[in-house]
Amino acid sequence: MTTRGKFVLGVLIAALLYFGINKLVQSGVLFKKAATESVLLNSIELPAASGGSRANVAVPLAPLPSETPAGKGSPIVWEVMAWNSQMAGMLANGGARTTQGSSMAAGGLDMQIVRQDDVAKMQADLVKNALDLQTNPDTPGLLVSIMGDGLPAFSAVQPQLEKAGTGLQIIPYSVGKSFGEDKLMGPKEWLDNPKAALGKTVACYLRDGDQNIALKWCADNGLKVNPDETTYDPEAVNFMAASDFLVAAEKYIIGKPEQRVKVVKGKNTGVKVDVVADAVATWTPGDVNIAKQKGGLVNIVSTKDYSNQMPNIMVTTKRWYDAHPKEVEALITALAVAGDQVKSHPEALSRAADISASVYGDKDKPGSYWLRYYKGVSEADRNGEVVELGGSKAFNFADNLALFGLNEGGTNIYAAVYKTFGDVQHQLYPKELPSYVPLDQMLDLAPLRKLQDKYRGKNLAPAEQQQFAADDEIRQSVSRRAWNIEFNTGQRTFTPAAEQQLDQLFNDLVVAGRLKVAVHGHTDNVGDAQRNQQLSQDRAEAVRQWLEQRSASAFPAGRVQTYAHGAQEPVAPNTTPEGKARNRRVEIVLGN
């Protein structure tokens, strides 16, 4: 190593020790179609952002990595989609191949970053890598980055890996997340009237994170979805298959119809109809292409609302992971150092964007393009409608402690995301996904805990944390759903049967991070009106207190508001026991 190289390496190591790693602290497999009746999904909410209350810690600008390949270190290949959540990983590597002066080089790693938008190819490559490692342990390890909510479906590759004598393993560190760029774009009328989406068709890459956004929005608003992409159900939201997220946008832009067989309540009517893409679930640059080339769609909901749905999750094989504990720790450390830099310094972020452009290889999209849409912008589309485009965030170490529930009073946000969308995919496609791999079989938090202990007591750059004002009312509702939470007669206390509903409510709400929660209490008309008004208030307050006591990080002060309606807003006649039971309800509204 040159004298200059030794000096740069020494500076990086010293900075790492001094600043305590500074701020250290999706996808889906293609399935065969399911011939089933359209489904009304359970509500799908996303985890609330959580974090510590540390004061901001200044993170000095470190020397930027050079453009000269390091040329040595433990070899690793990292397959990535064209996704802005990877900015910290780009800076950590210094280039498509690890460069001198980068935090990867400082950790003794030599990484090759390769663009790969085909999830099925990622799965096949993992299987091949597992077999290559079996015959030659010196084979470079393979990591792939996918949308975190898509991992349950991605885990369908597990049987093939088991035949190769290994299994899936998560790197217990996320480089960032989607924060707006992944979205459902649809006609403006859907914002005020979600039921206008019934009988319409959404183009997307099926069984992936972007479809999950659409599915969640449907579940939030009580809309049935048709799981068979080859039929048309006028009483449900339908889907149109695309080979990737960019083709999904093209389906709408081109407007070419597809002929479908009309079904009603799961039965073939024999009638054939032409359908077009009325809406799109996609991400940048798919959203940008829609706005610039055709327009006509607005953001219905995005990962800015469902702000914890889509962390970037890196997956490898147990075979490589178990054999390379030092490399895993070095990888986490390098990503954490770079995450602090990207979050703290425009120079570092700009450099990461230039590296992204080099890796992604789109000649018409320089670093300035990726930088612009990493930050997120509002632009007028071809029709003059202003739409939000792009939006991602980089993570540091503290963000990861929050994501995996290792911060004080924390909740494992990612566990809620994984279970929520695993259950959704299983409900829609029970034959194709009869089960999915339990998270604890793939996630080992020991390396993260080890680094947490190593830097405990030192100043660490804080995690981002969502702030909520208690007096800030919900102005734009995203969803409204009634929950049948049972209370003891005439009291604010829960029955034993209520615990299951409360657990589900908690898991749901622990996924919609940026949205406020309004709890509306309702009663039937039995008894005194004033007493019913107070009872509905007490019961709404009981739900709020239960949520806040269960997780202070997921439900910080001001996030949950309560409202009492007594018997004033019945949803059914109070003339029958069944009607009264429907009116004794708690409604949960999410919005911002």
Q: Which structure tokens are listed for 237?
A: 């939201």
Q: What percent of the chain has pLDDT over 90?
A: 70
**178-226 per-position pLDDT tens digit:** 999 999 999 999 998 999 999 999 999 988 889 999 998 998 788 999 9
**267-279 per-position pLDDT tens digit:** 999 999 999 999 9
**317-350 per-position pLDDT tens digit:** 999 999 999 999 999 999 999 999 999 999 999 9
Q: Cα(566)–Cα(581) distance, rounded to whole angstroms?
A: 14
pLDDT tier at 449, thresholds 50, 70, 90: very high
pLDDT of residue 455: 86
Whether the per-residue pLDDT at 37 is higher than 70: the answer is no
Which one of 439, 454, 469 terminates a domain? Answer: 454
The type of residue at 583 is N
Q: Are residues 489 and 423 part of one domain?
A: no
Q: Are residues 569 and 537 part of one domain?
A: yes
Per-residue pLDDT, averaged over 415-442, amounts to: 91
pLDDT tier at 9, thresholds 50, 70, 90: very low
Q: Are residues 435 and 314 part of one domain?
A: yes
pLDDT tier at 42, thresholds 50, 70, 90: very low
Q: Are residues 244 and 261 part of one domain?
A: yes
Per-residue pLDDT, averaged over 76-97, amounts to: 98
Q: Are residues 440 and 336 part of one domain?
A: yes
Q: Cα(369)–Cα(364) distance, rounded to whole angstroms?
A: 9
SS3 at position 154 = helix
Which one of 255, 273, 302 terminates a domain? Answer: 302
**127-158 per-position pLDDT tens digit:** 999 999 999 999 999 999 999 999 999 999 99
Residue 382 lies in a domain: no
Whether the per-residue pLDDT at 471 is higher than 80: the answer is no
Domain that holds residue 506: 477-591
More confident position, 424 or 102: 102
How many domains, in total, are found in the chain? 3
SS3 at position 39 = strand
Alpha helices in 270-345 (DSSP H): 286-293, 318-323, 325-344
> Does the CA dihedral 177-515-209-203 come out positive or negative?
negative
Residue 468 lies in a domain: no
pLDDT of residue 45: 38
Q: Which of 400, 375, 547, 482 is nearest to 24 (CA)?
A: 400
Q: Cα(285)–Cα(467) distance, rounded to whole angstroms?
A: 29
pLDDT tier at 573, thresholds 50, 70, 90: very high
Residue 33: give its domain's CATH number: 3.40.190.10
Q: Are residues 562 and 436 part of one domain?
A: no
Q: Are residues 339 and 230 part of one domain?
A: no
Whether the per-residue pLDDT at 50 is higher than 60: the answer is no
73: left (phi over 0), alpha (psi -120 to 50) or beta: left
Residues 42 and 478 sit within 8 Å (Cβ to Cβ): no
Rg (CA), the chain: 25
Q: Cα(108)–Cα(168) distance, rounded to whole angstroms?
A: 24
Whether the per-residue pLDDT at 20 is higher than 80: the answer is no
Residue 464 lies in a domain: no
Residues 148 and 174 sit within 8 Å (Cβ to Cβ): yes
The type of residue at 146 is I
Which one of 286, 302, 318 terminates a domain? Answer: 302
Q: Cα(475)–Cα(220) distance, rounded to whole angstroms?
A: 17
Which of 20-29, 291-300, 438-447, 524-533 shows the lowest mean pLDDT across its residues? 20-29
Per-residue pLDDT, averaged over 512-521, amounts to: 90
Residue 377 lies in a domain: no
Q: Are residues 190 and 172 part of one domain?
A: no
Residue 546: give its domain's CATH number: 3.30.1330.60
pLDDT of residue 32: 35
Residue 445 lies in a domain: yes
Whether the per-residue pLDDT at 34 is higher than 50: the answer is no
Residues 31 and 340 sit within 8 Å (Cβ to Cβ): no
Whether the per-residue pLDDT at 260 is higher than 50: the answer is yes
Query: In degrees, to the nearest 5, what angle opens at C-alpha 12 toward C-alphas 10 and 13?
Result: 65
Q: Are residues 82 and 162 part of one domain?
A: yes
Residue 461 lies in a domain: no
Q: Are residues 191 and 166 part of one domain?
A: no
Q: Reduced to 3 DSSP states, what percent helix, strand and coil does the chain have, rounded to the nearest 5?
A: 40, 20, 40
Q: Which of 496, 471, 477, 474 is nearest to 485 (CA)?
A: 496
Q: Which structure tokens are listed for 225?
A: 């979805």
pLDDT tier at 39, thresholds 50, 70, 90: low
Question: Mean pLDDT, the chain, as a whole number?
Answer: 88
SS3 at position 479 = strand
Per-residue pLDDT, averaged over 501-526, amounts to: 88
Angle between helix axes 209-220 and 413-428 (nearest 10 degrees) is: 80
pLDDT tier at 40, thresholds 50, 70, 90: low
Q: Which of 346, 490, 298, 462 is nearest to 395 (CA)?
A: 462
Residues 543 and 498 sit within 8 Å (Cβ to Cβ): no
Residues 560 and 550 sit within 8 Å (Cβ to Cβ): no
Q: Are residues 332 and 287 part of one domain?
A: no
Residues 25 and 461 sit within 8 Å (Cβ to Cβ): yes
The type of residue at 72 is K
Whether the per-residue pLDDT at 396 is higher than 50: the answer is yes
Residue 219 lies in a domain: yes
Q: Which structure tokens are listed for 199?
A: 């009988």
Q: Which structure tokens are listed for 245?
A: 């997220």
Q: Are residues 276 and 210 part of one domain?
A: yes
Per-residue pLDDT, averaged over 26-32, amounts to: 35
pLDDT of residue 133: 98
User: Three-state SS string across 41-76, please?
Assistant: CCCCCCCCCCCCCCCCCCCCCCCCCCCCECCCCEEE
pLDDT of residue 41: 55
Residue 366 lies in a domain: yes
Query: In degrees, to the nearest 5, what angle opens at C-alpha 45 toward C-alphas 39 and 51?
Result: 160
Residues 586 and 519 sit within 8 Å (Cβ to Cβ): yes
